[in-house]
A and B are shown apart, each in its own frame.
Chain A
Amino acid sequence: MFNKILYVVSEKQEEKQMVMELARVHNSAVLLSAMLAIGCGHEVSNEGATRKRVLREDHERKSWHDLYRLEEEFKAAGIKASVIAREGDVEDIHSVAHNTGSDLIVLSATSLAGVNYRLPDEFVAGLPCPIIITNAT
């Protein structure tokens, strides 16, 4: 039913277990994704440009590190997994899901902080597949 699951990675263990379970049941391939928000933290500040760059690089490096660690875990569990990452915001999931032909999106509510924990109606209406938004707590 779900050949390709687009999983927007969060730090929640339960969520990871749920995606693994879904992938096992449906024999799905999992696309592990992190939306690397431009301007990291959504706040445009007048901090020094060098410091901002360093913080951003650290954030990006950590995101990629976590993605590849997770890829290893999925692989060890016998699940097909690929890493995909984009510069952009949570709203860019729309285009990622389209481009990758995903059949299901799994997203944590914590990823919605940048859009005030609310996905616009037109965003949801335009999605190419169902979306599961897991509880943030």
Chain B
Amino acid sequence: MIQSEAPEPVAAERKAPAHGVRPDLILDLPEAESQSQVFEVVAGRMAQLGLVADAGRVTAALLERESTGSTGVGNEVALPHALLEAGPAHPVVALVRVKRGVDWHAVDGRAVRLVAVIVAARQQRSEYLNVLADVARVLGSENGRAFLLKARSFDKVARVLTRAPGSAFLARYKAVWILAAAIGLAYLGGRLLMPAISLPAGGIYEQLGCLKFNAQPWLGRQALVVAIFLGMVVGTLLFWKFRLAIVATGLATLLLAGVMNLEHMVEYMSLPTIIFVMSMMVLIKWLEDKGVFRYVVFKVVERVGGVPWVLLLILMAFSVLLSGFVGEVSGILVTFGLAVEIARRTHTPVLPYLLALVFATNIGSALTLVGNPIGVYLAFVGQLNFEQFLRWATPISLFTSVVVGAVIILLFRPQLRTKERVNLADLERTVESIKPADLRFGLFVFLAVVLLIVFHARTEALLRLPEGTMLVVAPLAAVAFVIFAEQEKGKLLIARSIDWWTLLFFMFLFASAACLEHTGVTTKLGYLVMRAAEQSPLSRWLGPSGVTGSALIMMLWGAGLTSGFVDNMPVVAALVPVVKGLLAVNLPHASILWWALLFGGCFGGNLTMVGSSANLVAVGVYERVTGQSVKFGEWFRTGLIITVASLLAATVALLVQVSLAS
């Protein structure tokens, strides 16, 4: 016997029912014996409300539809629907919640607890399909189902089942308005602030010929450049998929406004950086295809046994090393791929592996010159060589990795406790197709390139070549070698491996960021940083070294915290001219600021899931393999701890270096 409870008190009776959802058509049934009994109750209620003329015909139409295939879509949900010859003026939706469930012959065989009945007149077919799609969309999602099963008021049910068209329109264009407002505010801010920051006469700025930046034609250009560059940063944040279009538009505007000419544009694009990154993309893809990294990581994992948290530590160490030598994206793909296999076999959650390996990858990307495009860019603009990276970046990156490794184990070890061990023989299937000859050849080429890059400064000195020449020659030679080796497959390798999207993004961005330097914006920013550093307690305590230390803290934490929310490359590209300006005014040991930028840009990427390319790639893999998405808060809670810990470790290590150098 069906017992229909009276509908709950209606909180929004006066509101127009959206999509025909009415409070008196939301029914709670403790139990129901069959589909036809549910239909009889619903049709009876519709007739009672005057929505349909004949309840019997509605029941018959719904049963007829069921006879052509169950409308139980699975997950305890059914969407019976029918078009009637003489139906209501608009589609009507009735929601029935059956507490104990009813057999619906659903596709997954489960009893149904949520039944959304939709009926409409035949001439309303188009509207009927829209309503059906809307309701199905809500009931198709886990959150929607859970909410509807628990909702206690009509308002809540109606809110979940519908969406006001106006809000969609506003949401669609909200980001455009935010971008326009950001550009407008930046321009106004530039017009007000740039004249207020006046470079002092009679000092280093006069000797460098920078006083012209205080004059009127430059002030207008400065406001324009600030507005366009900030627009590019905010635009890439709001429209990530269109980031290339955003920077291309910005660059075109700068050219059109006469702020920069074509010669300067080509000069500022930093083509050596682009050629280096492009050649390494080809080489790393080729090595990935050969299975070199997968094999090496597997062999080490095989030796250390199958305890999950120990394996996690080993994979973290590999993430640091791989991202340091082959780049963050390749590194995370290799180690996270293996981590997913380990998590599956030990029935441990995948999320700790994801977070730990991404954090290790971002920290490891500061290990050497080749780990991150930031390092390559800084090497060319700051004329830093590989050995300087080994002297400055490697120890700090390794030290930070150890600190972060300890924090990770502290945070995640309880989640990785399991009695199950990884069956490594089973894992071996993933590397058994790798040919030994390919492996040896790949390793040989890789080590040869790494050696050429490591000793590039010495080779350049020996051959009397300009600085940085070998950084371009080594990967170019490797690419030529690989293409010769691959013969007809070489063309395909080039097409598959070079990420033109990223390379063009970098080129346009570098050229645009250089306008900040060209128009004196960063000189003024550098002057402000210098003034703030001079007045800091650290400089009063340590003297000139304290001024550098304060500037270092500002650069490191500024770049780090900003890089967590926007792409790290625009942040670094904007701060590079500031460092150049501080070097030009002879700030003591100012070259240490390059390392502050490197660590800020790389470590700050851990703060949120959009902080670096490695994060985005790993989250994509995670969502595909687990079918779950990572929530912002989930990442941010751990990311904040790791970012603060790693930036603190880098600050201490760099400050020690400053005090030792003075």
List the interface of chain A (C-beta within 8 A of B): 29-31, 36, 38-39, 42-48, 50-51, 53-54, 57, 60-62, 64-65, 67-69, 71-72, 75, 80-89, 91-92, 99-100, 114-115
Contact with A along B113-133 (1 / 0, CB 8 A): 000000000000100011011
Q: Which of B288-296, B363-371, B618-626 contacts A (4 or more CB under 8 A)?
A: B618-626
Given contacts A48-B238, A85-B136, A87-B141, 6 further A-B contacts (CB under 8 A): A45-B240, A45-B610, A48-B174, A48-B175, A69-B129, A82-B72
Interchain nearest-CB distance for B545 vs A (Å): 38
The CA of A46 and the CA of B234, in the complex, are separated in Å by: 11
Cβ–Cβ contact B620 & A43, under 8 A? yes
B residues near A92, Cβ cutoff 8 Å: 627
Interchain CB contact under 8 A, B137 and A47? no
B389-419 interface bits toward A, Cβ cutoff 8 Å, 1 = contact, 0 = none: 0000000000000000000000000000000
Smallest distance from the beta carbon of B69 to chain A beta carbons, Å?
Answer: 4
Most buried by A among B79, B620, B624: B624
Once bound together, how far apart are the Cα atoms of A64 and B136, in whole Å? 7
Q: Is the CB of A91 within 8 A of B624?
A: yes
Q: Mark B61-78, 1 if CB is under 8 A from A, else 0.
A: 000000011111110000
Contacts of B137 in A (CB 8 A): 57, 60-61, 64
A44: min CB distance to chain B, Å: 5
* Cβ contact within 8 Å between A88 and B627: yes
- Interchain CB contact (< 8 A) of A47 among B133, B239, B620, B624: B239
Known: A29-B69, A64-B136, A82-B70. A51 touches B237 (CB 8 A): no
Chain A CB within 8 A of B616 CB: yes
Q: Please report B residues at the A interface, Cβ cutoff 8 Å.
A: 68-74, 79, 81, 107-109, 125, 129-130, 132-134, 136-137, 140-142, 163, 168, 171-172, 174-175, 178, 237-241, 609-610, 616, 619-620, 623-624, 627-629
Q: A51-B172, A64-B133, A68-B133 given as contacts; is B108 within 8 A of A100 (CB)?
A: yes
Known: A45-B241, A46-B240, A84-B74. A38 touches B129 (CB 8 A): no
Partner of B140, one of A43, A46, A64: A64
- Out of A30, A47, A72, A80, name the residue touching B240 (CB < 8 Å): A47
Contact among A54, A62, A84, A115 for B133, CB-based, below 8 A: A62
| A-B pairs, 5 with minimum CB distance | A46-B610, A82-B69, A65-B133, A64-B133, A45-B240
- Measured in the bound complex, the distance between the Cα atoms of B71 and A31 in whole Å is 10
Our pick among A53, A64, A89 for the contact of B171 (Cβ within 8 Å) is A53
B175 touches A82 (CB 8 A): no
Q: A43-B241, A68-B133 are in contact. Are A100 and B107 (CB under 8 A)?
A: yes
Contact A85 B140 (CB under 8 A): yes
Are A46 and B627 in contact (CB-based, < 8 A)?
no
Q: What residue in chain B is nearest A59 (Cβ atoms)?
A: B137
CA distance A72 to B109 in the complex (A): 23
User: How many angstroms from the CA of A114 to the CA of B108 in the assembled complex?
Assistant: 25
Q: How far is the CA of A75 from the CA of B65 in the complex (A)?
A: 9
B624 adjacent to A89 (CB under 8 Å): yes
B627 touches A38 (CB 8 A): yes
- Kindly list chain A residues whose C-beta atoms are within 8 Å of the C-beta of B109: 99
Do the beta carbons of A38 and B175 come within 8 Å of each other? no
| Contact partners of A82 in chain B: CB under 8 A | 69-73, 107
Report the bound CA distance from A85 to B142 in whole Å.
12
A62: which B residues are within 8 A, CB to CB? 133
Does more than half of chain B's interface fall in helix, strand or loop, or is it mixed?
A: helix
The CA-CA distance from A68 to B69 in the complex, in Å, is: 13
A86 touching B237, Cβ below 8 Å: no
User: A54, B172: Cβ atoms under 8 Å?
Assistant: yes
A87 touching B627, Cβ below 8 Å: yes
Interface residue from B107, B133, B239 paired with A61 (Cβ < 8 Å): B133
The reply to whether A80 and B629 contact each other, CB–CB distance below 8 Å, is no
Closest chain A CB from B144 CB (angstroms): 10
Tell me which residues across on chain B come within 8 A of A69, comparing CB atoms. Answer: 129
**In angstroms, how far is the closest chain A Cβ from the Cβ of B424?**
17
Contact in complex: B620, A68 (CB < 8 Å): no
A36 touches B140 (CB 8 A): yes
Q: How far is the CB of B620 from chain A (nearest CB, A)?
A: 6
The CA of A29 and the CA of B71, in the complex, are separated in Å by: 13
A selection of 27 A-B contacts at a CB cut-off of 8 Å is: A31-B107, A36-B140, A38-B628, A39-B620, A39-B623, A44-B619, A44-B620, A45-B241, A47-B238, A47-B241, A51-B171, A54-B172, A57-B163, A60-B140, A60-B141, A64-B136, A65-B130, A68-B136, A69-B129, A82-B70, A83-B136, A84-B73, A85-B136, A92-B627, A99-B74, A99-B109, A100-B107
Knowing A47-B238, A47-B240, A89-B627 are in contact, say whether A68-B129 is a contact too (CB < 8 A).
yes
A51/B175 in contact, CB under 8 A: yes
* Chain B residues whose CB sits within 8 angstroms of the CB of A65 once the complex forms: 129-130, 132-133
The answer to whether A99 and B136 touch across the interface, beta carbons within 8 angstroms, is: no
B107 interface neighbour in A46, A75, A99, Cβ under 8 Å: A99
A85 CA to B137 CA in the complex, in Å? 9
Across-interface contacts of A64 in B (CB, < 8 A): 132-134, 136-137, 140
> Does the CB pair B140–A42 fall under 8 Å?
no
Contacts of A72 in B (CB 8 A): 125, 129
Query: Nearest CB to that of B136 among chain A residues?
Result: A64
B140 & A51 in contact (Cβ 8 Å cutoff): no
Query: Which residue on chain B has the smallest CB distance to residue A79?
Result: B68
A11 to chain B, nearest CB (A): 16
Q: Which residue of B lies closest to A98 (CB)?
A: B108
List A contacts of B616 (CB < 8 A): 43-45
Contact of B68 among A36, A47, A48, A81 (CB under 8 A): A81
Contact A39 B629 (CB under 8 A): yes
How many angstroms from the CA of A80 to the CA of B624 in the assembled complex?
A: 32
| Residue of A38, A75, A91, A115 ringed by the most chain B CB atoms within 10 A | A38
- Give the chain B neighbours of A100 by CB distance below 8 A: 74, 107-108
* Residue in contact with A46 in the complex, picked from B133, B163, B237, CB distance below 8 Å: B237
Structural contact, B68 and A75, CB atoms closer than 8 A? yes
Q: Give Cα A69 to B129, complex, Å.
A: 7
